[in-house]
Amino acid sequence: MLDSKLIRDTPELIKQALIKRGHDVATFEALLAIDRDWRDHQIELDELRHQRNTQTPKGKPSIEQQESLKALSARIKVLQDKTSQLDQLRLDASLMIPNIPHHTVPSGLTESENVVIKTVGVPPTFDFEPLPHETIALNRKLIDFEAGARIAGSRFAVYTGMGAQLERALIHFMLAHHTKRGYDEVMPPVLVNRACLMGTGQLPKFEDDLFKVNDTDFYLSPTAEVQLTNLYANQIIPESSLPICHVAHTPCFRKEAGSYGKDMAGIIRQHQFNKVELVKIVTPDQATDELHAMLSDAESVLDALGLPYRVIQLCGGDLGFSSAITYDIEVWFPSQGKYREISSVSHFSDFQSRRSMIRYRPNLGGDVEYAHTLNGSGLAVGRTFAAILENFQQSDGAVIIPAVLSAFFYSHPHGELRL
């Protein structure tokens, strides 16, 4: 949620920021109109309340005074109701306005205009035609897609045998890796309530992409960003406790609305998938350094696994709804001959903290301030699984598993592991 003072004082600046995102400014202009109407009603309401207070006699009022006060109270009640309605409309409209991009975000409206920051590692070369991960998974009996479809439907998968061990090994490795780098592990609920999703910006705009539990206030979480950020909702944190750094593994659930026909094969775009998530609560002064540290933390997982990747900065038009700055990490997929997203690392400024009321008390005293929030995938586990199958496939159909994972396989804790 944007600062209401910023909205009123610099509307043109916000309009230009929204244009940079490719966002329709009509919704913002509607918000401005509602806000002006609300303020006009609020001013009149305050004036009438003051008038009532000053006109109320100390002794017994006359009949004329009683009639005048009755009429005044009736008018105040009408204004109270109208002001309350306008305030709700103002809130509803403000929740549909995305965050404004940071001044360092490159211009552009589509992903083709994202900027490559760096490329790490060399894509492997093969003396055979590399297979897509879904074919390898079927050939090696690592995933049963038909069973997933029978149990739940399309875009679900059952990991079997060594495939299940690889998925679990990746989760355990990522959690161990990030806790060693200073993150505190959390194991949160998978169900989240509406207030939490409002706080991080998934609601109300992206309701169609969420799985809701009928007749309840619960949703299946689309990302552990929701749970980890909302650990601090409606709290005031001492500045001395910041930055706060958390890591969590959860299954994540998304309808993938509007994506049908895209990535139907394999495990790139599933309704249920595992992800290890990183979240930080920081002061504004800490945000830039902590953002780049989080990006380095996510990259270091791919470095340890030996997977080739690149880092890109998203242009204004490709930013997520709540983000002010986003860096994507894309891993190489040989069968597709291109890089695919495996992590997004974002700085949300005070956008989420205003919605969730996450504040901190400065060490030097003074008024409490809104914290800044950061999050990033560390990493998307299924996509890491797929990238390993594709990049480390062998001519005999086997896959060599990165050495750092061997200790996390119960059946093969030492030596080279081939699936």
What percent of the residues of the chain are helix, what percent strand, and what percent coil, each to the nearest 5?
A: 45, 20, 35
pLDDT at 372: 98
Which residue is catalytic, options 90, 155, 254, 355? 254
Q: Cα(first)–Cα(last) distance of the chain, in Å? A: 48
**CATH number for the domain that contains residue 242:** 3.30.930.10
Contacts of 18-22 with CB under 8 Å at 24 or more apart are: 18/97, 18/98, 18/100, 20/101, 20/105, 20/107, 20/316, 20/317, 21/98, 21/100, 21/101, 21/316, 21/317, 21/319, 22/109, 22/316, 22/317
What is the reported pLDDT for 410? 74
Q: 198 with 286, same domain? A: yes
Under DSSP, the state recorded for 399 is: B
Q: Are residues 407 and 315 in the same domain?
A: yes
Active site residue 254: yes
Q: Whole-prediction pTM value?
A: 0.91
- Is 223 within 8 Å of 352 (Cβ atoms)? no
Q: What are phi and psi of 118, to 5 degrees?
A: -165, 160
In this structure, is residue 228 part of a structural domain? yes
User: Of the residues 344, 349, 353, 356, which is catalytic?
Assistant: 344
Choosing from 113, 207, 239, 341, which is the catalytic residue?
341
Is residue 322 within 8 A of residue 201, CB to CB? The reply is yes
pLDDT of 312 over the 70 cut: yes
Report the Cα 73 to chain-centroid distance in Å.
46
Q: How are beta strands 309-313 and 115-120 bridged, if at all?
A: antiparallel
Same domain, 47 and 80: yes
Structure tokens at 200: 């991080």
The pLDDT confidence band at residue 258, using thresholds 50, 70 and 90, is low
Q: Which of 49, 68, 94 is the last residue of a domain?
A: 94
Domain identity same for 216 and 73: no
Q: Are 268 and 383 in contact (CB under 8 A)?
A: yes
Residues paired with residue 7 on neighbouring β-strands, in sequence order: none
Query: H or E element: which one contains 145?
Result: helix 145-151
Residues 71, 184: one domain?
Answer: no
pLDDT confidence of residue 69: 83
Q: What range defines the domain where residue 52 resides?
A: 4-94
pLDDT above 60: residue 337: yes
With cut-offs at 50, 70 and 90, classify the pLDDT of residue 63: confident
Q: Please, which pLDDT band fits residue 292 given cuts at 50, 70 and 90?
A: very high
Residue 102 placed within a domain? no
Least confident of 118-127, 247-256, 260-269, 332-341: 260-269
Phi, psi dihedrals of residue 115, rounded to the nearest 5°: -110, 125
How far, CA to CA in Å, does 160 sit from each of 144, 163, 261, 358, 400? 7, 5, 26, 42, 18
- Taking only the tens place, the pLDDT of each residue in 95-111 is 999 999 999 999 999 99
54 pLDDT above the threshold of 90: no
Q: What pLDDT digit, counting tens, does each position of 185-230 carry?
A: 999 999 999 999 999 999 999 999 999 999 999 999 999 999 999 9
Residue 172 lies in a domain: yes
Q: Is the omega angle on the peptide bond into residue 379 within 30 degrees of 0, that is, cis?
A: yes
- Confidence at residue 277, expressed as pLDDT on a 0 to 100 scale: 98
Residue 155: active-site member: no
Burial grade of 227 (CB within 10 A; 0-12, 13-18, 19 or more): buried
Q: At residue 34, does pLDDT exceed 60?
A: yes
In a domain, 13, yes or no: yes
Mean pLDDT, rounded, for 36-59:
87
Residues 138-177 pLDDT 10s: 999 999 999 999 999 999 999 999 999 999 999 999 999 9
| 261 part of a folded domain | yes
Percent of the chain with pLDDT over 90: 85
Tell me the C-alpha distance between 300 and 310, whole Å: 12
Mean local confidence (pLDDT), 315-324? 96
pLDDT recorded at residue 414: 59
Task: Say if 256 falls within a structural domain.
Answer: yes
**How far apart are the C-alpha atoms of 200 and 171, rounded to whole Å?**
24
Confidence of residue 52 (pLDDT cuts 50, 70, 90): confident
CATH of the domain at 56: 1.10.287.40
Q: Are residues 127 and 19 in the same domain?
A: no
Q: For the chain, how many structural domains are there in total?
A: 2
Residue 29 included in any domain: yes
Boundary of a domain, candidates 60, 94, 128 = 94
Domain identity same for 195 and 47: no
Q: Is the pLDDT of residue 14 over 90?
A: yes
Where among 94, 125, 158 does a domain terminate? Answer: 94
Catalytic (active site) residue 185: no
| Among the ranges given (165-169, 283-287, 412-416), the one the predictor scored with the smallest mean pLDDT | 412-416
Please say whether the beta carbons of 28 and 42 come within 8 A: no
Q: Comparing 1-5, 42-46, 66-70, 263-267, which segment has the lowest mean pLDDT?
A: 263-267
Q: Which residue is catalytic, options 49, 168, 269, 340?
A: 269
